[in-house]
Amino acid sequence: MPLIHKPATELHELIKTKQVSSRDVTEAFLAQIHHVEPSLNAFLTLTDDLALSMADAVDQKVSKGLPLGPLEGVPIAIKDNICTENIPTTCASTILKGFLPPYNATLIETLKQAGLPILGKTNMDEFAMGSSTETSAYQKTHNPWNVDCVPGGSSGGSAVAVAGFEAPLSIGSDTGGSIRQPASFCGNVGLKPTYGRVSRYGLIAFASSLDQIGSFANNVTDTAHLLNLLAGHDPKDSTSLALEKEDFTRLLGSPKKGLRVGLPNEFFKHLSPEVKALYTTLINTLSQDGIEFVWLDLPSIEYALATYYIIAPAEASSNLARYDGVRFGFRAAGTSSTAEMIEQSRSQGFGAEVKRRILIGTYVLSSGYYDAYYKKAQKVRTLIKKDFDRAFEQVDIIASPTTPTPAFKLGEKTNDPLEMYLSDIMTIPLNLAGLPGLSIPCGLHNNLPMGWQLMGKAFDEARLLQVAHQMESLIGFGGCA
């Protein structure tokens, strides 16, 4: 098996036992990147030199006989909304064209300390607003399973980097499904941890009460090892929680006895008969292996999408007010007053979808509409949270399809915003409730991968990963060769 097809934990073992060097591994992925990028376009910036110098530092440790930390020497790709010191960080937006962050996100400091060579920055929907990576101001990313299809979004570049064997691991962010939905479309494992589990310091804000950093990997074991690195309290992020350090791999490989999994009726209503049949077969297969499934009602979930499209734009319109053409690289040319400079810089710097969300957010926060929309949505958010709390009194895990359909064609939904928003209908409820969730590949529909979404209680990632690992081995999904 070529190096690039191996999971991260296996690559790390090979490096640790001197069978290959971290440089060998990093060069193999860089070679694949240069080979497939012309058809996939997953990366906005490549950092070959940084990756190789980090790899060499790991190899020096190995040659000196020093012990390596978890995943040390295994390369990783980073979504372009995470600040990397002196390396372009654009959020795939014109308004951040040429922006060089003066500091690293906490996550980047962590990865540098841990010795994971950074391969580059990945494409995304502009400011993470989108479900197909098509709102990027720079390029369209293609799904490796079918290059006429979208990779999903907003973390489409990071999903494709792993699916296309350009990186064994990658980092994304998930505000309404931006990790789980592209992981589903690209056939890999995408994890959104509990809100507050991973520091958001240096993650460029979209909707601060919903944003969470997470990961893509080839399997659940790699995902659990990576979460061990990412999780932790950060004094620089007041919403990161001071929890006791735990090992998220500790329950892997010991299947939970008497596992009860909830299936919300609401998540199975919107499926085509063919897709529904795929999940019915999956549920039957898993039942035969002793997993008990229980049908549940989460009535307020039906309102999650509407709630999200009020709350997220409200927070975004406020977060994006800072882009005024003064401090972050881009400024419209030829303006004669500061007011005109701000208006022109924003009008030229933001794309159509970002502007749409700024308008929605500004509307729902304006006096006269605040109570009717924003406050109403915040109250429904409470109901959604309560529905999940009630459900978790009966079951250990909740499961659903990750998306109602497999990856759609490029351009298919770009003219109908609401139709595009509907592709996140299964993933959004979890962000509103702040809970952890992941998507594992579970089968093919029209030769495109479909995802199985597993949702857990707050801070119960160890259990979530245990169950995901158990189901992953029962499903036995192969990769995209």
Partner 1 sequence: MISTEDVRHLATLSRLRFNEAEVAQYAKDLGSIFDYAKALNELPTDDIAPSAHAIPIENVFREDGVVPFDADTLLINAPEQEGHAFKVPQILAD
C-beta of 423: minimal distance to partner 1 in Å?
Answer: 14
Bridge partners of residue 43, in order along the sequence: 122
β-sheet with 437-445: strand ranges across: 43-46, 118-122, 76-79, 169-174, 212-217, 189-192, 437-445, 448-455, 397-401, 260-264, 292-296
- Runs of H (alpha helix) within 366-449: 376-394, 417-421, 428-433
Structure tokens belonging to residue 173: 């962010």
Closest CA to 120 of 164, 166, 74, 69: 166
Distance CA 380, CA 388 (A): 13
| Beta bridge mates, 78 | 121, 171
247-262 as b/e, with b when 16 or more CB fall inside 10 Å?
A: ebbebbeebeeebebb
Which residue number, 100 or 444, has a Cβ lying nearer to partner 1? 100
By beta-carbon proximity to partner 1, the closer residue of 242 and 481 is 242
- Name the catalytic one among 21, 131, 154, 345: 154
Segment lying near partner 1 (by CB under 8 A), choices 20-28, 65-73, 286-294, 362-370? 362-370
Task: Count other C-beta atoms under 10 Å from residue 112's C-beta.
Answer: 17
The least distance separating partner 1 from the CB of residue 356, rounded to whole angstroms, comes to: 6
Q: Are the beta carbons of 216 and 169 closer than 8 angstroms?
A: yes
Q: Is 129 exposed, middle or buried (0-12, 13-18, 19+ CB in 10 A)?
A: buried
- For residue 318, state whether it binds partner 1 (rule: CB under 8 A): no
Nearer to partner 1, 209 or 473 (CB): 209
338 scored as a contact of partner 1 (CB under 8 A): yes
The reply to whether 345 belongs to the active site is no
Active site residue 154: yes
> How far apart are alpha carbons 192 and 436 in whole angstroms?
6
Per-residue contact flags (x/-) with partner 1 for residues 443 to 462, judged by CB under 8 A: ---------------x----
343 binds partner 1 (CB under 8 A): yes
Interface with partner 1, residue 373, by CB under 8 A: yes
Which member of 330, 392, 408, 452 binds partner 1 (CB under 8 A)?
330
Write down the catalytic residue from 79, 121, 192, 457.
79
Shortest Å distance, C-beta 342 to partner 1: 5
Only one of the segments 2-10, 116-124, 217-225, 319-327 lies at the binding site for partner 1 (rule: CB under 8 A); that segment is 319-327
- Among 463, 348, 311, CA closest to 94: 348
HSE-CB at 151 with a 13 A cutoff on CA atoms is: 35
Catalytic residue of the set 131, 136, 178, 400 = 178
Q: Which of 25, 341, 442, 465 binds partner 1 (CB under 8 A)?
A: 341
Assess 340 for contact with partner 1 (CB under 8 A).
Answer: yes
Span interacting with partner 1, options 130-138, 161-169, 198-206, 317-325, rule CB under 8 A? 317-325
Measured CA to CA, the distance from residue 148 to residue 145 in angstroms comes to 9
Give 57 or 422: the residue with its C-beta nearer to partner 1.
Answer: 422
Q: Per CB under 8 A, does 408 bind partner 1?
A: no
The reply to whether 326 sits near partner 1 by the rule CB under 8 A is yes
Rg of the chain (C-alpha set): 21
Q: Does 246 bind partner 1 (CB under 8 A)?
A: no
Nearer to partner 1, 338 or 394 (CB): 338
Q: Counting contacts by CB under 8 A, is residue 238 touching partner 1?
A: yes
**Residue 53 annotated among the catalytic residues of the structure:** no
Question: Taking CB under 8 A as the criterion, which residues in 185-204 touch partner 1?
Answer: 194-196
Among 136, 218, 307, 403, binds partner 1 (CB under 8 A): 307
Of 438 and 471, nearer to partner 1 (C-beta) is: 438
| DSSP, res 167 | -
Question: What is the helix (H) or strand (E) element at residue 118, kind and residue range?
Answer: strand 118-122
Asked if 18 contacts 62 with a C-beta cutoff of 8 angstroms, the reply is yes
Residues 104-163 that bind partner 1 (CB under 8 A): none
Distance (Å, whole) CA 320 – CA 446: 39
- Cβ–Cβ under 8 Å, residues 22 and 111: no
Active site residues: 79, 154, 178
Q: Footprint of partner 1 on this chain (CB under 8 A)?
A: 98-100, 102, 194-196, 209, 235, 238-239, 241, 300, 302-303, 305-307, 309-310, 317, 324-331, 335-338, 340-344, 346-347, 350, 355-356, 358-360, 362-363, 366, 373, 375-383, 385, 417-418, 421, 431-435, 458
